[in-house]
Amino acid sequence: MDEHRRQLLQWLSDQYFEEISTLQANEDHLFTWSVSTLMASLGALTGLRGIADGHWSVIWRLLLWGGLIAALLAILFMAYLLNSRAEQHRRDAAQVLAQIDPLLEQAPRARPGDVLLFYVRWGVVLAIGIVVLMLIYLLG
């Protein structure tokens, strides 16, 4: 393989790895933001429980439920897209690295612990969202 092609492939693999780290950072930011937002809404709803002695209308509670469910689904879908895009970049980077060095047998994949961490983190976000949904139900 000529030197120019090797440098080009090395540059391309560096770009893939940079994109992977950017996607992982974006997922971390999304997780932090979503947990902070859900915890703030949890705090706001627990504060409203003590203040609101009146009855909340069914329409108002359904609107809150619908908005929260839509927000949770959007957050979880974005997390899935970020994770699947990072995995696609890992596969693409592995193909480029295999062209640079044919002795590389396996793609640089996410460790099994990383996959488990992904599901645990976003399961926690979903659990907090369910608690917020139950608090909205109890407001009536």
Q: Is 65 exposed, middle or buried (0-12, 13-18, 19+ CB in 10 A)?
A: middle
DSSP code for 103 = T
How many separate domains does the chain show? 1
Q: Is residue 83 scored above 80 in pLDDT?
A: yes
112-138 vs 3-51: helix crossing angle, rounded to 10: 20
Quick one: pLDDT at residue 93? 85
Q: How far apart are CA 110 and CA 27, in angstroms?
A: 14
Query: 């970020």: which residue's tokens?
Result: 82
Instruction: Yes or no: say if 39 and 125 are a contact pair by the CB < 8 Å rule.
Output: no
Q: How far apart are CA 46 and CA 92, in angstroms?
A: 47
Q: How far apart are CA 125 and CA 31, in angstroms?
A: 8
Quick one: pLDDT at residue 54? 60
- The token pair at 136 is 């909205």
**Which residues constitute the domain of residue 45?**
3-138
Quick one: pLDDT at residue 123? 95
DSSP code for 110 = P
Mean of all residue pLDDT scores within the chain: 84
pLDDT tens, residue by residue, 97-109: 888 776 655 555 6
